[in-house]
Chains A and B, each alone.
Chain A
Amino acid sequence: MTCQINFQSGWIDASALEFALRSGCEPHGAGVYEVIFLFPTGCKIMVDTAVRMLSLLDQLDYWTRRVRLAFDEGESGTMGYLNRMGFFDHLAKDIEVSPARPSLSGAEIYGGTNAGLVEIAGISREAKDNALLSRLTDALTRSCGTRTDAKELEGAAWTIFAELVDNIFSHSDTPLDGYAALQLYSRGKSLKVAVSDSGRGIMDTLRPTLKTEFPALDVLSDLDLLVEVFRKGLSRHGGSRGCGLKGSAEKAIKFNADLDVRLPTGRVLLTPGKQGYRPNTACCYEHLPLIWGTHICFTFHLDSTR
């Protein structure tokens, strides 16, 4: 069976990605042998959606689905943007692209010169790249250097990347690479910091240890448990660990950042509150099409006057 995912025209954020996935059939479904993604004219992919999609595409290719990406506008449209961020450099070689894969990597041509965009960074457990974090956050220095809080912002983004990327090394338990990217939007008014992996997902690794490490939390729903992970810090390794995600959240909340977490079949939006992150219950999604891994995006809302 062929599964066709049709995107809409306009911005494709994480919600629009979910909408498109739910409108089609399950890409990971048992009877699916081919998955086609259609990008119409005027469709623009946001950075967090791009890294999430890249993980999904890796997974489909790894589980031997035939995958094709069809871009109506060719390189003059969203395909060109994806190329600039290095999307096609990371895309599995067997995935077909129409009209054709870009002949040159935009990330290699423009690398490091776009003030607000950082090329997608691959996170490989086999070849740890220690300069990765600086490359990701240097874009902030280039484009936010005049802000009075530039140093604090850069430090927050760096720590968030460090903790999320380290989590991939420590917990994701998959041969597939993870991805990280950063982009400034709306002339510096918002910043997205996104990290994605194809592992078992944070809940799958945490849940089995709850009975022994945190018995009181064993009864919580995935949503409430996720709030605890970011608010109090939890780790399958016990009480003295788990400070990374909590610390990341504490840095992000100073910038009034929203937090979007996609789990294998669910998605949770967390908004900043006085006591730390709290779930945005108006936007909880369950029983979503399967995407393996944990996909996290912090959206910073920046005061443009600083």
Chain B
Amino acid sequence: MNEKSTVLQLRDFMNTPEGWGRDQGREIYNKLIGFVEANPGTMIFKVSLRNVKRLDISFASETFVELARRYRGYKGFCFIDLADQDMRENWDAAASRKGQPMMVWEGKKGRVIGVEPSQGTLGAFKFALERERARATEFAAATPDMSIANASTKFKQLWEQGFLLRREDIAESGGVEFTYFRIG
């Protein structure tokens, strides 16, 4: 089963195609929280920036960067339809300031802005990005000299830092096994 995702059009929450300032950002943040809470079954929100002309760093900081930070580990937010370089820079600056990684997707190609994974977890992150779901046992099996415990630690770090989401499953052995998901 794929984790449920929903496309969210940011423009639908804005009065004008331009978003700027902390006050406006906070106003929209409250509307966005309402939307997220009204969709309890959705784990991943794909935020479409279609028809949004511009937004500044303060607005970016107060809306999805803050939202991603609030729900870190439980729900994920990624961007789609983000072709504008200037807007991408502003999301990046806002996410970087709050230490919150955010995914940007162009078709099947995803890249992270705001924060980069550490060198130690980069391999695990790339492994997770290439598939809809990933387990530590799979990463360990596919990576030379990687123990399951080490793989598990790396995935856990990525989850805690907001790069991945995860779900608790029951392993065949009867114990708990986490399944990790890319955001998007």
Residues of A whose CB lies within 8 Å of any CB of B are 128, 130-131, 133-134, 151-152, 155-156, 158-159, 162-163, 165-166, 169-170, 233, 240-244, 246-248, 250-251
* Interface mask (B9-41 → A, CB under 8 Å = 1, otherwise 0): 000000110101111100000000000000000
Contact indicator B56/A163 (Cβ below 8 Å): yes
Shortest A106–chain B CB gap in Å is 27
The answer to whether A169 and B97 touch across the interface, beta carbons within 8 angstroms, is: no
Cβ-defined contact, A240 with B58, below 8 A: no
- Given A158-B54, A242-B97, A243-B96, 5 other A-B residues pairs in contact with their CB atoms under 8 A: A130-B20, A133-B54, A159-B56, A159-B90, A166-B23
Residue of chain A at shortest CB distance from B93:
A247
Residue ID in chain A nearest B97 by CB atoms:
A243
B97 close to A240 (CB less than 8 A): yes
Chain A CB within 10 A, most for which of B15, B21, B89: B21
Chain B residue contacts of A158, Cβ below 8 A:
54, 56, 86
Q: Mark B76-89, 1 if CB is under 8 A from A, else 0.
A: 00000000111101
**CB distance B93 to A243 under 8 Å?**
yes
Taken together as a complex, chains A and B put the C-alpha atoms of A233 and B98 apart, in Å, by 12
Which of B23, B24, B61, B97 is most buried by chain A, counting CB atoms within 10 A of its CB?
B97
Q: Complex Cα distance A244/B90, Å?
A: 9
The verdict on A155 contacting B54 (CB below 8 Å), with A133-B18, A251-B89 known, is: yes
- List residues of chain B with CB within 8 A of the CB of A243: 57-58, 61, 93-94, 96-97
Judging by beta carbons under 8 Å apart, are B61 and A169 in contact? no
List, in ascending order, chain A residues with CB within 8 A of B93's CB. Answer: 243, 246-247, 250
Contact status of A152 and B58, CB under 8 A, knowing A130-B15, A166-B20, A243-B97: no
Q: Across the two chains, which residue of chain B brings its CB closest to A160?
A: B56
Most B CB within 10 A of own CB, among A165, A166, A233, A243: A243
Instruction: Give the secondary structure class of A's interface.
Output: helix
Chain B: which residue is nearest A246 at the CB level? Answer: B93
Pair B21/A233 contact, Cβ less than 8 Å:
no
Please count how many residues in chain B sit with their CB below 8 Å of the partner chain's CB atoms: 26
In the bound complex, do residue A130 and residue B18 qualify as a contact, i.e. CB atoms below 8 Å apart? yes
Q: Which of B23, B58, B84, B99 contacts A244 (CB 8 A)?
A: B58
Q: How far is the CA of A130 from the CA of B53 in the complex (A)?
A: 13
CB distance from A172 to the nearest CB of B (A): 13
Contact call B56/A166, Cβ cutoff below 8 A: yes
Chain A neighbourhood of B58, CB < 8 A:
162-163, 166, 243-244
Other-chain contact of A159, B16, B23, B86 (Cβ < 8 Å)? B86
Closest approach, in angstroms, between the C-beta of B25 and any C-beta of chain A? 9
With a cutoff of 8 Å between Cβ atoms, the chain A residues found around residue B87 in the complex are: 155
Whole-angstrom CA separation of A243 from B93 in the bound complex: 7
Closest to A131 in B: B16
Complex Cα gap A151–B54 (Å) = 11
Chain B residues within 8 Å of A128, by CB: 21, 23
Best-buried of A151, A241, A248 by chain B (most CB within 10 Å): A241
By the criterion CB–CB under 8 Å, are B21 and A162 in contact? yes
In the bound complex, residues from chain B placing their C-beta under 8 Å from that of A155 are: 54, 84-87
A240 to B60, CA, bound (A): 13
Smallest CB gap from B69: residue in A: A240
Q: List 15 A-B contacts (CB under 8 A).
A: A131-B16, A152-B85, A155-B85, A158-B54, A158-B56, A159-B54, A159-B56, A159-B57, A159-B86, A162-B20, A162-B56, A162-B59, A240-B99, A241-B61, A243-B57
Whether B57 contacts A247 by the Cβ 8 Å rule is yes
Contacts of A163 in B (CB 8 A): 56-58
Q: Which residue of A lies closest to B21 (CB)?
A: A166
Which residues of chain B from 142 to 175 have a CB within 8 Å of any chain A CB? none
CB distance from A149 to the nearest CB of B (A): 11
Residues of A within 8 A of B18 (CB): 130, 133-134
Contacts of B20 in A (CB 8 A): 130, 133, 162, 165-166
